[in-house]
Chain A
Amino acid sequence: MSGRMEWVLLAYRLPRRPSTPRITLWRKLRRLGVVQVLDGLVALPADAATREQLEWLAEEVGEAGGQGEVWLARMASAAQERALAARMAAAVTAEYEQVIAAATAAASQPEGARRRTVSRLRRDLHQIGRRDFFPPAGKDTARIAVEDLAATLPAPATPRPAAGPAQTVSTTDAPERQEAQP
């Protein structure tokens, strides 16, 4: 990373009670992959999407009777920035390690359970990927572990019956499709 990047920060204060808005907010922040700078101050690398997400959460904080402000910021030193990025990478590394462990453990499952595990882990990888701003080495290892598990499954039978493509136009579709005819 050459030069320093822009960060988007959410500074928020929420009443202690009721606790539900705090928990909801924290869940959403976790899903976005924020790094906590201080109590009530979280950060993400700034882009159009992260900035927008934090702005909506600031709005939710306001609706819950709190106060939320969104800041754009640059860190004063490259070393601090590397440290922050390393904390974020460590957090997603832990998540990738869980995926790897689950994929390894599933190898001995019966076929149906293995198939469900593969779908779940692919979904998990997609979710983690959304908050993986500084991809660690574990990312590829996790992806390969899931695809290796998928490779142990026999190819799924096609769910559709043997009807040819020409027969798939149902009667309800017919009127709209006639414009192509002479």
Chain B
Amino acid sequence: MRWATRAGVHVDRAACAWLIRRCLDPDPRFVFVDDPDDVPADATAFDMRGVELSHHGGDCSFETILRRYDLDDPVLWDIARIVHEADLADDRYHAPEAVGLDVLCRGLSMTADDQGVLAVTGPLFDGLYEHRRRALLVGRNPA
């Protein structure tokens, strides 16, 4: 399937792309556009103004995708907390990890193009998932 989002990928879009590959579409193709009008007809758009899979009611796009596809894995919701604060920093959640994640993604977008950013953030989110999974199991941050 084709998925479209805004060029200049930052943390929410990187997290959504990882989530799409992990839970919705094992072989996704991502298209990056500058304007919502440029979204190809056969592509599902995300994290863009005016589309379904985007910010709604104060949620970031990652949270919207979890809701729309009924993904109730608590580890994903724990990651959503971090992505939300990294993206919006509105103090809805306590997520001290968010500051670091935001900086890492901003830095990456300065040295890599959008496909390159996703190539790095994919394994990064795999690792974050495993970390949060173990943290939820043992009730504290695992070493």
Interface 1/0s, chain A 161-177, versus B by CB < 8 A? 00000001110110000
**Chain B: residues with CB nearer than 8 A to chain A?**
8, 10, 49-50, 54-58, 88-91, 99, 134, 137-138, 142-143
Cβ 8 A contact of B55, one of A49, A56, A130, A172: A56
Is A168 in contact with B137, judged by CB distance below 8 angstroms?
no
Is A173 in contact with B134, judged by CB distance below 8 angstroms?
yes
- Given known A-B contacts A56-B55, A63-B57, A168-B143, A31 and B90 have beta carbons under 8 A apart: yes
B134 / chain A contacts, CB cutoff of 8 Å: 172-173
Q: Within the assembled complex, what's the spacing in Å between the Cα atoms of A58 and B88?
A: 14
Is B54 in contact with A172, judged by CB distance below 8 angstroms?
no
Ranked 4 nearest A-B pairs via Cβ: A168-B143, A56-B55, A59-B49, A55-B49
A63 / chain B contacts, CB cutoff of 8 Å: 56-57
A126 / chain B contacts, CB cutoff of 8 Å: 99
Interface 1/0s, chain A 49-92, versus B by CB < 8 A? 10011011011100100000000000000000000000000000
Is A59 in contact with B54, judged by CB distance below 8 angstroms?
yes
A52 / chain B contacts, CB cutoff of 8 Å: 10
Q: Counting CB contacts under 8 A, is A4 at the interface?
A: no
Band of interface residues on A: 20 to 34
Closest to A48 in B: B8
Q: Counting CB contacts under 8 A, is A116 at the interface?
A: no
Q: Within the assembled complex, what's the spacing in Å between the Cα atoms of A48 and B88?
A: 13
Is B142 in contact with A173, judged by CB distance below 8 angstroms?
yes
**How close is B59's CB to chain A, nearest CB, in angstroms?**
10
Instruction: Name 10 interchain pairs, CB-CB below 8 A, sorted by A.
Output: A24-B58, A31-B91, A56-B49, A56-B55, A58-B49, A59-B55, A60-B55, A60-B57, A60-B58, A63-B56
Q: Within the assembled complex, what's the spacing in Å between the Cα atoms of A115 and B54?
A: 40
Is B90 in contact with A28, judged by CB distance below 8 angstroms?
yes
**How close is B88's CB to chain A, nearest CB, in angstroms?**
8
Closest to B106 in A: A49
A56 / chain B contacts, CB cutoff of 8 Å: 49, 55, 88
